[in-house]
Amino acid sequence: MAQAEKMEKKSSLMNVLEIDGVPLPVISKEIWARVCHFQARPDDLILATYPKSGTTWIHEILDMIHNVGDVEKCQRATSTDRHPFIELTFTHKEKLDLDWAIEMPSPRMLKTHLPSHLIPPSIWKQNCKIIYVARNPKDCLVSFYHFHRMTSMLPDPQSLEKFLEKFMAGNVVCGSWYDHVKGWWAAKDKHQILYLFYEDVKKNPKREIHKMLEFLGKTLSEEVIDKIVYHTSFDVMKQNPMANQTALPSHIFDHSISNFMRKGMPGDWKNHFTVAMNETFDKHYKKMMAGTTLTFCTEI
Ligand code: PPS
């Protein structure tokens, strides 16, 4: 696609809608009332994340758990066509993910990037199991920056310096990373939430899969668990067209600018942050995270 056409596409999609001070993609605008009234079922499993925190990865693990390690079944469709988002829909799709979710037979797995206070209330009422995945903010920020570069669904990030300011101010789609991770951290004391960390899954996927299994009340043989670890490793997923997001139209995800499966490595932020950026970020982080018991590991 010509550069001018690409930019036009970008600018037409970059408006965001604020709900309770949280910028959400414009695509959520028309359906927001319906999102709020979404009817959860008690056996729904919700995968909740701030963007770029490992959604696609943990989704793949959960789908493999559900399908008892059957690789073929997990390659039945692309990641985006296997389980719906509640509040989002990719722009090329004819049907809303929300409608797909409503029609889906149980047991459903549903994805969301919403902060905990914007979750459809029926999810709490039905006491659904929720798996939340958090990623350290520095790698999350760098990943989000590159994602803004490669997708037409988000505005041009201009530069990493500018994006860092926006990220710290929470002036990005899905709002403040700080509010997101802290909100869900507080919610876990009142609801059925398994709070996972991207870096822990990277460090010891097997141990974290065991945690997921226990939370879901499932058991799998060690052989199947090893198979899941292998097929959901970064290198294998990167080669899997049903998981690496290359099947999406190139006007939506332009992999020639940056791969969706980019680095997948805790500590990559060190290749991007300058010393000054790191100092600014650390100072702000300390202020924003004061008083919480939540801690993050920025390298492994
Ligand atoms: S999105 O667009 O919000 O749904 O993105 P999300 O899937 O949450 O996050 C994308 C980042 O997760 C990395 N990823 C992985 N890391 C390690 N192992 C595996 N298997 C894996 N799969 C995806 C992906 O590469 C993005 O991170 P970066 O740092 O950009 O590489």
Structural domain spans, the chain: 3-288
pLDDT > 60? residue 1: no
Task: Please confirm, yes or no, whether 113 is among the known catalytic residues.
Answer: yes
Structure tokens at 189: 């004391």
What value does the CA radius of gyration of the chain take, rounded to a whole number of Å?
Answer: 18
pLDDT > 50? residue 4: no
Question: Is 261's C-beta closer than 6 angstroms to any atom of ligand 1?
Answer: yes
Question: Is 268's C-beta closer than 6 angstroms to any atom of ligand 1?
Answer: yes
* pLDDT band (50, 70, 90) for residue 15: low
Listed residue (100, 60, 15) closest to 209, CA to CA: 60
Tell me the per-residue pLDDT of 44-101, one tens digit each, with 9 for 90 and over: 999 999 999 999 999 999 999 999 999 999 999 999 999 999 999 887 888 999 999 9
Q: Are 181 and 294 in contact (CB under 8 A)?
A: yes
Where is pLDDT greater, at 14 or 269?
269
Considering the entire predicted model, what is its pTM? 0.95
The CA distance from 9 to 14, in Å, is: 9
Among residues 59, 66, 83, 113, the one annotated as catalytic is: 113
The pLDDT of residue 264 is 97
Question: Is 244's C-beta closer than 6 angstroms to any atom of ligand 1?
Answer: no
Which residues have C-beta within 8 Å of that of residue 13, sequence separation ≥ 6?
A: 26, 91, 152, 153, 154
Where is pLDDT greater, at 259 or 6?
259
The pLDDT of residue 28 is 84
Q: Are 222 and 229 in contact (CB under 8 A)?
A: no
Q: Are 129 and 192 in contact (CB under 8 A)?
A: yes
CATH architecture of 3-288: 3-Layer(aba) Sandwich (3.40)
The CA distance from 238 to 258, in Å, is: 13
Task: Using a pLDDT cut of 90, give the percent of the chain over it.
Answer: 88
